[in-house]
Structure 1
């Protein structure tokens, strides 16, 4: 349903115009004059993919429309929500001394090539050329741009620290854009960049920003979690993810109910129970390869036999001499049958290992390269509760290997050494012990898993970008140049809006927290003329009680019934609905409904103002 009508403008004196802004009785927000095309149709699929709740509800409530795959237009109600989220962020970042700026979305490739990310960022980056043939990109992030800016402007330690942030659009060429605003090609994001003199001061800044993020998440009014995380392509030495808890979340978090330790599944370190699961003892590997590895006696034997499973991969090390071929290591990772290999942990321990789905896929990863080294990574799940084991080397005899494997492993010419490395290469699971409690109290508190949506990420960058981009300052001694210590901190604004819907909705529609709702209160009236007139006065009374601008809207549509308006209000998710129905003409009472709890109050007119005064929020707009 499209609700939009023309507006007749009248010439007003300057004083009258000021009064119209100052007093609620002069101007009222009206649904009849608002672009909010709600729909009773229940969207289920788009491009063959099932829609997540936030995607369905933001479309049905008239807050966004799809322009193309992964790209959306945000309509007025949706923009009001984004503005309120941004307002909360502005407020908290200003409190820690951050300054707002605006950086270009189209960037030259120069600094990206200096940091190496022009090549490493992969196919998700939108690259383009201008008419002169120069390389540009649509910014997926702004580390290079802001570091280059600060490098030109800062010369002395006296100019530091600096904290700057922006809210702007980002672009990523997602292979499978899906789930509405949760994974799109264009999105709105807040990114904060900090610049400090010393590493110690940078860590203090990091802690300040994390606390500010916690305050932001608390003000948004939905359940959230802060998890230790991997630094990924951004890099750095210290990282946390901020999540909104939701069943449709792509991330799995492991957390301890005793001490509060929380970590992303990809990074989590848990204490493995010493009693093996049935899946570990009953596992039978379909590949023939593990039998010869087991015969090497390098995989520990637990009291109750745990059958190992293996995943193979290739580690390539480029050479600087073009006349020589690259070094290529064949890697086998052994875990217990109930554990999956954690690719991030393997890569952090060894380098950029490409894992294969099966033994048959290894040759495709090798290409024309030949295997020069062999490595077996034995995971802790095969020796739970034991002290870390030392790496060692064993000699392989070609005759002991399955047919065809000798050639693949480069053993045609004779014996070869196999390096055996012991460590943590597995994904943690619910029930694994909390590492913090184990270290501090000696207890094994089991961790639980929850699903969540990542909405923010904080990184301690150190000098990862300042060194290649020559962002330095003259130290206090007046002689030496030192690289600036950096941090970067992101929050997805459009992703936050969708995540809030995921965490706060029911079968009727969205349930917005009051801090970000497009309007806190909607006044709905029946078609009766007396109710319509009373609705105008109710608007003024509630607006006066709340004492904040743009808190109330009046659903003054004449072509719809009271029931239709109430359904619309529940779908949109206003925190409060004030109903002026025909019962008001008989009793003089007005009904107030709370969207989140479903509570209802029947109030006499004189009590309406006091009711909302008692429930007034602090002004966060």
Structure 2
């Protein structure tokens, strides 16, 4: 019986290959290290910490009476998330990889419009929130705590107070330093009364929040529009059909607000969209019994549901005046900055994308966010196709040498005690964009690989060179 190279060396792999990188431990899992380097064996499914539960999620996977949705069920079944406390989840390695990719995309778009990345404390002083009068306004939504000295704090659901106080503490800026756009990607906390739907409505989650400081109202509107355009580009790159709708400013406050909504039946927001013009709004901002469009006067408003994945606010001077975040203008006089704030629900985008793109049987990722792009299935151990098992080694080696952009993106399902059919079913559930089967067609005079493109459902039979050409076009981030 032929033994593959990776089967020979598996027992002798150093422990460092299966020990978490120290840089990824602790509070922030958003690392940037590469987990597959030239010369290392391929990633093996049997070694991945992905405690799959590929069956229906029963009562043991949720609180009594809790309703679930497709994304929550699929993510728990596939070992992507594991419930902890109500509204809180362990993000397991595959989810962290997808989240890291999403954060890299967000970084590209935010830094492309001048954003600078910061990291502010999750522990926020009650004194700051009292100055903005939101300590009482936010009510029970805040997680509140006291330190051993009696000092009051909250776990930050958002950071308008903190970032404005930070800017004010630096002294008066010059107009030449504006616009200034500061953003972070951090854990946020909200004491949701009824957390549900997995990562769609939790009490602890990741969010990208950006805060802008401008010298004039006109400049602030320009910044606002540039961020909205960056959001539209981001969702376009992800292949998600988001709709920008007018929204209420709520307890954030300000003069203008828009939500970015992903249409979905499970969505908790009600949207009104005009069929004749570009008008769209959350029903909160329009009389709920209105059917005619307030913008064009002729179109009919059609109601639908959506998942909010982003929110933008033009704040004006609401916070900058309170905290005296000022600058010296062109007349050498002091003035307060005009502000905006802009949020993206990082973990909510992951879950919402799975919700709208997946089948009932398996996850389908936006291609750029798939934790791994390619899964290779060797033949079952002891089958008649064992004679072509060395093609797996050749294929892995060629992919490593000719497609360096895919290093770390290829996994090998080494569970060869299982049939190809069983492993194919698992691969479909987990949502690898490309599944490569070394099966019956590899026995032909010119060996071919069965390639299943899971996003489209297309099945191809390709030579090794043809497969390499196909995968050369795969975009990664």
Deviation at 1:527, TM superposition (A): 1.8
User: Matches of 1:250 and 1:457 in 2, distance apart?
Assistant: 15
What secondary structure sits across from 1:49 in the alignment?
Answer: coil
Q: Which residue in the other structure is 1:58 paired with?
A: 75
Deviation at 1:582, TM superposition (A): 3.8
User: Matches of 1:125 and 1:539 in 2, distance apart?
Assistant: 51
TM-score by length of 2: 0.88
Is the 2:270–2:305 Cα contact (8 Å) retained in structure 1?
yes
Q: Deviations over 1:256-298 (max 9, x none)?
A: 2332221111113xxxxxxxxxxxxxxxxxxxxxxxxxxxxxx
Is the 2:56–2:77 Cα contact (8 Å) retained in structure 1?
yes
The structure-2 alpha-carbon separation of the partners of 1:10 and 1:82, relative to structure 1 and needing over 3 Å to count, comes to: closer
Deviation at 1:50, TM superposition (A): 2.1
Query: How do 1:355-370 and structure 2 match up within 5 A?
Result: none
Deviation at 1:562, TM superposition (A): 1.3
Q: Which residue in the other structure is 1:598 paired with?
A: 457
Is the 2:240–2:353 Cα contact (8 Å) retained in structure 1?
yes
Is the 1:541–1:608 Cα contact (8 Å) retained in structure 2?
no
Q: Which residue in the other structure is 1:577 paired with?
A: 435
What secondary structure sits across from 1:515 in the alignment?
Answer: helix
**Residue 122 (structure 2) pairs with residue 112 (structure 1):** no
Q: Which residue in the other structure is 1:553 paired with?
A: 411
Is the 1:43–1:51 Cα contact (8 Å) retained in structure 2?
no
Is the 2:71–2:352 Cα contact (8 Å) retained in structure 1?
yes
User: Matches of 1:178 and 1:563 in 2, distance apart?
Assistant: 34
Q: 2:50 aligns with which of 6, 30, 36?
A: 36
**Residue 258 (structure 2) pairs with residue 258 (structure 1):** no
Is the 1:245–1:450 Cα contact (8 Å) retained in structure 2?
yes
Higher helix proportion (structure 1 or 2): 2
Q: 2:197 aligns with which of 169, 179, 202?
A: 179
Structure exhibiting the larger radius of gyration computed from Cα positions: 1
Q: Deviations over 1:67-105 (max 9, x none)?
A: 111110000000011111111100011110100010000
In structure 1, the gaps of 5 or more residues are 13-19, 269-425, 439-443
**Residue 146 (structure 2) pairs with residue 129 (structure 1):** yes
What secondary structure sits across from 1:569 in the alignment?
Answer: helix
Is the 1:177–1:185 Cα contact (8 Å) retained in structure 2?
yes
User: Matches of 1:55 and 1:230 in 2, distance apart?
Assistant: 28
The structure-2 alpha-carbon separation of the partners of 1:172 and 1:79, relative to structure 1 and needing over 3 Å to count, comes to: same
Query: How do 1:140-179 and structure 2 match up within 5 A?
Result: 140-156=157-173, 157-179=175-197
User: Matches of 2:278 and 2:373 in 1, distance apart?
Assistant: 34
Q: Deviations over 1:517-541 (max 9, x none)?
A: 0111111122244454322322333
Q: CA RMSD in A?
A: 2.1
User: Matches of 1:515 and 1:557 in 2, distance apart?
Assistant: 26
Q: 1:71 aligns with which of 88, 91, 101?
A: 88
TM-score by length of 1: 0.68
Query: How do 1:362-381 and structure 2 match up within 5 A?
Result: none
In structure 2, the gaps of 5 or more residues are 1-9, 18-33
**Residue 387 (structure 2) pairs with residue 534 (structure 1):** no
User: Matches of 1:99 and 1:70 in 2, distance apart?
Assistant: 31
**Residue 320 (structure 2) pairs with residue 427 (structure 1):** no
The structure-2 alpha-carbon separation of the partners of 1:548 and 1:154, relative to structure 1 and needing over 3 Å to count, comes to: farther
Q: Deviations over 1:127-167 (max 9, x none)?
A: 11111111111111100000000011141323322111000
Deviation at 1:560, TM superposition (A): 2.4
**Residue 65 (structure 2) pairs with residue 204 (structure 1):** no
Is the 2:313–2:340 Cα contact (8 Å) retained in structure 1?
yes
- The number of equivalent residue pairs is 442
Deviation at 1:488, TM superposition (A): 0.3
Query: How do 1:363-402 and structure 2 match up within 5 A?
Result: none
The structure-2 alpha-carbon separation of the partners of 1:549 and 1:475, relative to structure 1 and needing over 3 Å to count, comes to: same
The structure-2 alpha-carbon separation of the partners of 1:525 and 1:209, relative to structure 1 and needing over 3 Å to count, comes to: same
Is the 1:536–1:554 Cα contact (8 Å) retained in structure 2?
no
Q: Which residue in the other structure is 1:318 paired with?
A: none
Query: How do 1:99-498 and structure 2 match up within 5 A?
Result: 99-156=116-173, 157-268=175-286, 426-428=287-289, 432-438=291-297, 444-478=298-332, 480-498=333-351
- Of stretches 591-600 and 204-213 in structure 1, the one that deviates more from structure 2 is 591-600
Deviation at 1:549, TM superposition (A): 3.5
User: Matches of 2:436 and 2:66 in 1, distance apart?
Assistant: 38
Is the 2:70–2:360 Cα contact (8 Å) retained in structure 1?
no
Q: Which residue in the other structure is 2:370 paired with?
A: 517
What secondary structure sits across from 1:107 in the alignment?
Answer: strand
What secondary structure sits across from 2:323 in the alignment?
Answer: coil
Q: Which residue in the other structure is 1:82 paired with?
A: 99
The structure-2 alpha-carbon separation of the partners of 1:566 and 1:500, relative to structure 1 and needing over 3 Å to count, comes to: same
User: Matches of 1:11 and 1:130 in 2, distance apart?
Assistant: 39
Is the 2:36–2:43 Cα contact (8 Å) retained in structure 1?
no
Is the 2:37–2:407 Cα contact (8 Å) retained in structure 1?
no
**Residue 14 (structure 2) pairs with residue 9 (structure 1):** yes
Deviation at 1:22, TM superposition (A): 8.7
Deviation at 1:433, TM superposition (A): 2.1
Q: Deviations over 1:435-470 (max 9, x none)?
A: 2222xxxxx111222211001100000011011111
Q: Deviations over 1:312-338 (max 9, x none)?
A: xxxxxxxxxxxxxxxxxxxxxxxxxxx
